[in-house]
Chain A
Amino acid sequence: MKDSVIMVKDFRKVYGDVVAVDGISFEVQHGEIFGLLGPNGAGKTSTLESLEGLRAPDGGSLRVMDIDPARESRKLRNLIGVQLQTSGLPDSMRVDEAMRFFAAYHGVAPAYHLLERLGLSEKMSAQYHMLSTGLQRRLSLAVALAHKPPVVLLDEPTAGLDVPSRNELHDLMHELQAAGTTIILATHDMAEAEKMADRVAILLRGRIAAAGTPRELTATGAGLTKVSARTEGTSLSEPSLNFPGVSQQAFKDEYAIYYSTDPGSTVSAIIAHIQAQGDTLIDLRVERPSLEERFLEITGAGGA
């Protein structure tokens, strides 16, 4: 069994009358990518900022590598790398200067190779305010990783990045994970969480509404698999068709779409029906529920 690197137990955070986080508990294992998902105001950033030592919890306990972030923030500094939601570097700071500045405070040599890896080598002399949002995010990440922290906390790391940059960041996260780095990834991007995270927790109104691997989460939902079929003729155009396991159906772009709890039986029945009608099947697609659909189901319902 792997070691727990991050432990959150009955964590509670309150701002005035507003309960931002209401007694959540989870653990993150060594070398794991843990996704923290949730709509705006769900408590993701409060949780991350408390793990980073920026906020003190109002209840419960937090541990990052056995360190209490609120009480021992100095010890924590060299153990965590943080990319904040808002990048937060001085406008006049140059790219190479930022690397030197933060590396010096961590007591390590500047990691210029990270700037190169993240596509910033051409911008070494550019001041922070001259960089695009995407480049600012990349610089912030490079600075966060310069001291090779064993724990990395990323708050919306791909916000503002184009597709190639996102893929590059995902590759980098996989490399970090392979090297044993533990990563917490707070994101709105469900596809990213599904692709990157070993486990996720969905926060809703300060509580964990669901937690598990992306596959476990999608399997425990309403479990509706989408079956889409297109035929040459009109054998599927009759709305009153009743296939086994189908609870909803729709028509879109010449496709008949069925949401099924028993996709195997549904597909067999559809094919049998098409053959019986003398029609020809052109295309058939079966898509399992995505994490995004599960997320919408949970957040829309107000809890699991």
Chain B
Amino acid sequence: MNAFASHFSFEFRTGIRDKTLLLMNYLFPLGLYGLLGFLMAELNPDFVETMIPAMIIVAILSGTILSLPNPLVAAREAGIFRSYKINGVPAISILTMPALTTILHMVVVAVIITATAPLFFGAPAPVNWLGFILFFLLAAFAHAGLGMLISVISSSTRAVVLWSQLIFLPSMLIGGLMLPYSMLPDVLGKVGLLLPATHAMNVFQGLAQNQVAAFDPLWSVLILLAGGILSFALANYLFCWDSRNTTRRGHPALALVALLPYVVGVVLL
């Protein structure tokens, strides 16, 4: 078994073996899906129209923003990265393997949601299936990049919670997941444009579901792509082997550069 396969296999199994990861990768998003499916279908029938993309984005947020960074910070604090370095495990593998395996877990969750939502809740299935798959991967990529960046700049596991919630909660509230983006006040709408969830929802609606997008979805594609690339590049640049996370190539504030595409979106859209 080569190094890539061995590392990928270990990280994927960890996502199931570790109870916290299992909860955040599967139980929380699927539980929320079931709960919201029954509740929101009663309270807000329009929610059903966007249910599949919204719940898939919730799953992505849970897996990449809430779940992905913490084990990485804990591993760094425990000196595991030092063992990795001594044994030739490159930084790029340490960062990308958990991201790739988390995305694979999200694929499983997305398949469950996409297959069951039309049956149980009458949610419309995607119209453009190829686009749906590609935009799912794009949304997962952009969010996983932010998750990586959080793990790299966080000084401790407590700091991870702060940064993760700073993205997760606004995404749930103003990312167009529970309420349509068009219903948000202008100011909140502008703030929402800083979130990858808003753009992911816009892309799914406009290009995969054949629904009315809140703004040009091609801009959202570009913003998610640029945001994801910048996030991964910055995470790799700012990565630190040291368990105290002190010796790095740049200041952690450099991570803010990853928000640049989203800021451009606020200006242009």
Contact = CB atoms under 8 A, between A and B. Distances in A.
A77 B7 contact: no
B267 interface: no
Contact of A102 (B2, B13, B78, B87): B87
B203 to A, nearest CB: 35
Contact-residue size bin, chain A (C-beta under 8 Å from the other chain) = 20 to 34
Interface in A115-130: 127
Contacts of A97: 10, 13
Contact of B79 (A77, A86, A104): A86
B93 to A, nearest CB: 8
B3 A104 contact: yes
A143 to B, nearest CB: 7
Interface string B10-45: 100110011000000000000000000000000000
Interface string B62-100: 000000000000010011101101111100000000000
Contacts of A86: 78-79
Contacts of A78: 88
Contact of B83 (A89, A92, A100, A127): A89
B78 A100 contact: no
Instruction: Identify the 6 closest CB pairs spanning chains A and B, nearest first.
Output: A77-B88, A88-B83, A104-B6, A88-B79, A104-B3, A82-B86
Interface of A: 52-54, 73-74, 77-78, 80, 82, 84, 86-93, 97, 100-102, 104-107, 127, 140, 143
Contact of A80 (B7, B75, B83, B86): B86
Interface of B: 1-3, 5-7, 10, 13-14, 17-18, 75, 78-80, 82-83, 85-89, 241
A105 B3 contact: yes
A101 B18 CA distance: 18
Nearest to B85: A54
Contacts of A100: 1, 6
A88 B82 contact: yes
B80 A88 contact: yes
> Which of B6, B7, B86, B241 has the largest number of chain A CB atoms within 10 A?
B86
B82 A93 contact: no
A104 B4 CA distance: 8
